[in-house]
Amino acid sequence: MKAYITSLGKFLPGDPVDNDTMEEFLGKIAGKGSRARQRVLKQNGIQTRHYAIDREQRTLYSNAEMAARAAREAIERAGLSVGEMDFLAAATSQGDFPLPGFASMVHGELKAPPCEIATLHGVCASGVMALKSAMLQILAGEKRNAVACASEFASRLFKSTRFEAQKKVRDEGLSFDAEFLRWMLSDGAGAAVLQSAPGGAPVCLEIEWIELKSFANKFEPCMYVGPEKNGTRMQSWLDYPSYGAAADDGAINLRQDIRMLDDVVGHAVQELLKLAGSRKFNPADIDWLAVHYSSHLFRDPSYELAAKAGFDLPRERWFTNLYTTGNVGSASIFLLLEELLSSGKLEPGQRVLCLVPESGRFLFGYMLLKVVEGAAEHRRAKRNAAAMPRTEAPALQTKGDPLAQALVRELAVVWFEFEERLRAVPVVVKLYEGHFTLEDYRALLFNLRQQVIDGSRWIARVASSITPEYFPVRSAFIAHTSDEHRDFEMLERNYAAAGGDLEEIRKGRKNIGSEALSSYILQKASQENPFELVGAMFIVEGLGQRIARHWGERIKEQLGLENDAVSFFLYHSESDVMHFQRLDQVVSSGILTEKMVADIVKCAKVTARLYALQLEEIGNF
């Protein structure tokens, strides 16, 4: 089993903010411009960055919302729907709330179905932690579509009003260890989709390994939230008698002990050399070095140390977006890889070494990625989004019968609810958002076939369960049986025309939704005079009459298929008109009672729910 980054997404809030405009967003403390700003900016080399606050320092996006937007983009680029995500790892240095965990908040923003989640809390390297968590889920075979994301909202911490309210700042001014980071950090989010096979992009990234190494046993915190260091044990803001007292002492300020930064660079490169030995990779085989360095000041020392150690890559192969995107902490590795992957510079066979040093308390993240060609059969169709059309409920003839009229009204409500449920089914969402793939189509046919083959069985059973006094009605079911027998054969031909293996589909099993649907209908069909199954036929044949052709045309258009590959869907829009004429024969035969109407409506409701479940559970056998 292997793990691949099949797509990446990003979200950078607002327009780029240049160096001259920064203080318009962060504000001047006590109305005075910063004397440290120019010095810090000259050293870090950052020219533009993004903020999730406006010039009035109002929040425009929550941290969780930014992460969710990046995740949605990555999911969409992978040709998936949010409903297909089965694992979410979310990282940040500081969420919108102390509790619950950041991944819970991002999951809520995504409005995704229930899935496993993991929150990774740290600074820059926590983004690598999220990637490794997702990778391990894929390698273990536990999950199919894992999403890793990270987001930062640093600008909220640096608003002038926050510092102006602190007594220590009013009395002594803002200390440099807090001031420094105002001009270093910025906002944004990135995300990645991880799967066990290459996706549909021109190139994907195979993860060869991910390594994280902490040296917290050797060093005190270098980047932290707390009061100024004074040589004694650091006091948490929670240890103060009140929140106000903690704020007044600057214990809620984010700080950087710049005296320790040289050690960060040295240890990061030193550990890289050890990895070259333990992971047995040759520095000469590395084509790109994607390094998250927080400041231009560290680029030359890093380059020199790496070159001495054998990582003598030309400077143009050191990829960074620091100067235009800024330092976005845990999200930086995602933003680096997203821009590198989108640049067109990567070629299959190349290797990308990633280095993410975290100054928090000396944690370093490393990854080796191999560029591979995207899988042609997974390539996403050209996006052509459209809404699934609303349809009228299939028409039944009532011939003035009040009971038949009541039945038609109630079935119309069931139909509307059925259509609404179909709109939310992941495979249908993909079809109408333009993400549908050939693999999706084969999976759809494979899963439908196992239930369709039971169609003629249950209709024949209905016919055999009808007692002699209803034999005139029985003929409608007998005529229907032969039609249903042809359906699964047509579906098999479509599967083969779409590149599927006939032996494979014929040996297939029902998914759990199909199992429930078939079991329910066959059980009902075994009862005496099971006319309530008119409700089941209304749903199944109604879908064929009202929706199947549109699905078939949409599939044909997106995947470039011929009619012989989608005939199952195209045929039903015509054949099911005739099938409804047989339903009319039953409904208008005079057999309806109030109880039978209620039973038919209930059966329609159950069938609608189980049919949608069959589509929701594609691949779950």
- At 273, phi and psi to the nearest 5? -65, -40
Q: 269: closest CA among 298, 232, 236, 230? A: 298
Q: Do 196 and 138 touch, CB atoms closer than 8 A?
A: yes
Q: 378: closest CA among 144, 209, 28? A: 144
Classify residue 544 by its DSSP letter: I
Question: 246: exposed, middle or buried (C-beta count within 10 Å: 0-12, 13-18, 19+)?
Answer: buried
- All residues at 6 or more sequence positions from 217 whose CB lies less than 8 Å from its CB, including other chains: none
Q: 618: closest CA among 415, 451, 380, 414? A: 451
Residue with tokens 């976005």: 328
Question: 364: helix, coil or strand?
Answer: strand
Q: 245: closest CA among 227, 229, 258? A: 227
Residue with tokens 């169709």: 381
Output the pLDDT for position 297: 73
Output the pLDDT for position 379: 44
Beta strand ranges found along 116-249 (DSSP E): 116-121, 146-152, 188-195, 203-214, 223-225
Q: State how far Cα 573 lies from the chain centre.
A: 34
Helices 594-616 & 438-452, crossing angle to 10 degrees? 140
Question: d(Cα 153, Cα 50) in Å, to the nearest integer?
Answer: 10
Question: d(Cα 203, Cα 233) in Å, to the nearest integer?
Answer: 50
Output the pLDDT for position 384: 56
- All residues at 6 or more sequence positions from 456 whose CB lies less than 8 Å from its CB, including other chains: 481, 482, 484, 485, 487
Class of domain 4-375: alpha beta
**CATH code given to domain 382-616:** 1.20.910.10
> Bridge partners of 204?
372
Question: d(Cα 307, Cα 539) in Å, to the nearest integer?
Answer: 69
- Enter the tokens of residue 392: 């009228």
Beta strand ranges found along 153-260 (DSSP E): 188-195, 203-214, 223-225, 254-256
Question: d(Cα 489, Cα 482) in Å, to the nearest integer?
Answer: 12
Question: d(Cα 75, Cα 6) in Å, to the nearest integer?
Answer: 9
Question: 260: helix, coil or strand?
Answer: helix
What is the secondary structure of 555-616 as a DSSP string?
Answer: HHHHHT--GGGTHHHHHHHHHHHHHHHHHHHHHTTT---HHHHHHHHHHHHHHHHHHHHHHH
**Cis? peptide before 100, omega within 30° of 0:** yes
The model's pTM = 0.67
The CA distances from residue 162 to 167, 229, 244, 393, in Å, are: 11, 20, 12, 59
Long-range contacts of 458-467, Cβ-Cβ distance < 8 Å, separation of 24 or more: 458/518, 458/521, 458/522, 458/525, 458/533, 459/484, 459/525, 461/522, 461/525, 461/526, 462/525, 462/530, 462/533, 465/525, 465/526, 465/527, 465/528, 465/529, 465/530, 466/529, 467/528, 467/529
Consecutive 10-residue averages of pLDDT for the chain (621 residues)? 95 95 94 90 94 95 97 91 93 94 96 95 95 98 96 96 92 91 96 93 94 92 88 86 92 89 80 82 86 79 70 81 94 96 91 91 94 68 62 82 91 92 89 86 93 82 88 71 69 93 92 94 94 92 89 91 90 60 77 94 96 93 81
Q: Do 552 and 566 touch, CB atoms closer than 8 A?
A: yes
Q: Please give the angle made by the CA atoms of 271, 275 and 278, to the nearest 5 degrees.
A: 135
- Enter the tokens of residue 468: 């002699």
Question: d(Cα 348, Cα 434) in Å, to the nearest integer?
Answer: 27
For the chain, domain boundaries? 4-375, 382-616
Q: β-pairing, 87-92 with 146-152?
A: parallel
Q: Do 616 and 426 touch, CB atoms closer than 8 A?
A: yes
Output the pLDDT for position 479: 62
Question: d(Cα 353, Cα 347) in Å, to the nearest integer?
Answer: 14
